Amino acid sequence: MTVFSKLFSYIGSIAWQPITMFGFLDAHPYGGVLSAISTVIFCMAAFYFLRWFTGETKIEIKDKNHSWKSIKITSKAWYCSICEELLLHGFGVYCDCCGVCADAECLKKANQTLLCKIMTSKTDSLPHHWVKGNLPLGACCDVCHEECALEPGLVDFRCCWCNRNVHEECLPDRQTLCDFGPFRNLIVPPWCIQVVRRKGSLHKHLLLKGVKHPGWANWSPLVVVGLLPFSLNDYGGLEGQCVEFFVVFIEFIVQTVNSDKPFYNLS
């Protein structure tokens, strides 16, 4: 009992110390504890402020991973790219970069087995990146020129680079290399993107270093800036108006910019 009495007496003597760090001299029952917590919070806030203030302003781009968005922000029916089941009541996600779709149970497998668009490449040519199903209404086959996706389900294919559609039976007759379609002069091809690794980052994110000319005549890449308020960006809101651009353009070309620093991402 004597040991416990001394321990409680020592803790009590610390707790009753006045808070003097920020100039408060009034004693408080938990003064020492509050002073320590305040110091920790102040140091953390200062650390993150300095990190933000001195941080690099280069555009961060994704590397191989899908960019998932809720299918609730779209108005079309979606089929899971893994189990091929119709997703009801808006429960599911789709990649706004390549167009694959998954429900909650198949999301992990989709990340492991379905490749997204490549962001960088060392070769100056690219094969078609065919994604099965979820074609837009009225899509026509680029080989036989007949309408695609007439049957319900995950049927037929669409290239997420040139947006051409083909029937499954017509796929072998389509040329292998992609020419990026009618929007060729607006797109930055992967071999033109120069990236660097973020220094000191545990996750080794890629940063955009520069963009070189692909050598195409009349090439004039389009940059789309979506200016979204913080609250609308968090809850979907206007996001659906910008998100479809990812299907045509490489992801870093479409920037969703927070309203308080509209040009921070475009350095």
**Cross-sheet strand order for the sheet of 68-70:** 68-70, 93-95, 101-102
* pLDDT above 50 for 208: yes
68 versus 201: the higher-pLDDT residue is 68
How many Å apart are CA 182 and CA 161, to the nearest integer?
10
Q: Which of 148, 38, 131, 130 is nearest to 79 (CA)?
A: 131
Instruction: For residue range 26-59, list pLDDT tens digits in order.
Output: 545 555 666 778 787 888 887 777 665 555 444 4
Residue pointed to by tokens 């102040």? 42
Distances (CA, A) of 38 to 14, 20, 21, 48: 16, 11, 9, 16
How many Å apart are CA 142 and CA 237, to the nearest integer?
35
Average pLDDT along the chain: 74
6 versus 94: the higher-pLDDT residue is 94
Q: Stretch 222-230: mean pLDDT, rounded?
A: 56
Q: Stretch 225-240: mean pLDDT, rounded?
A: 46
For 75, list phi and psi in degrees, rounded to 5.
Answer: -120, 15
Instruction: For residue range 55-108, list pLDDT tens digits in order.
Output: 544 444 455 578 899 998 888 889 999 999 999 887 899 998 899 999 999 999
Every domain of the chain with CATH number 3.30.60.20 lies at 127-179
DSSP for the chain, please give it.
-HHHHHHHHHHHHHHTS---TTS--S--TTHHHHHHHHHHHHHHHHHHHHHHHSS--SPEE--S---EEEGGGS-S--B-TTT-PBPPTT--EEETTT--EE-TTTHHHHHHHS----S--SSS--B--EEES-PPTT-BBTTT-PBP--SSSS-SEEETTT--EE-TTTGGGS-SB---GGGGGG---GGGEEEEEPTT-SS--EEEEEE-----TT-----EEEEE-HHHHHT-TTHHHHHGGGGTS-GGGEEEEETTSTTTT--
Token pair of 158 as six digits: 């669409």
* pLDDT above 50 for 259: no
232 versus 88: the higher-pLDDT residue is 88
* pLDDT above 90 for 225: no
* Architecture field, domain 127-179: 2-Layer Sandwich (3.30)
Instruction: For residue range 118-133, list pLDDT tens digits in order.
Output: 888 888 889 999 999 9
pLDDT at 22: 45
Asked which of 115-124, 133-142, 235-244 is least confident by mean pLDDT, the reply is: 235-244
Q: Stretch 207-226: mean pLDDT, rounded?
A: 80
* pLDDT above 80 for 159: yes
66 versus 225: the higher-pLDDT residue is 66
Q: Which of 192, 193, 188, 254 is nearest to 227 (CA)?
A: 254
Range picked from 69-78, 228-237, 256-265 for highest mean pLDDT:
69-78
Residues 6+ apart with CB under 8 A from 144: 167, 170
Q: Stretch 261-267: mean pLDDT, rounded?
A: 39
* pLDDT above 90 for 176: no
Q: Stretch 198-225: mean pLDDT, rounded?
A: 74
Q: Stretch 216-228: mean pLDDT, rounded?
A: 73
260 versus 78: the higher-pLDDT residue is 78
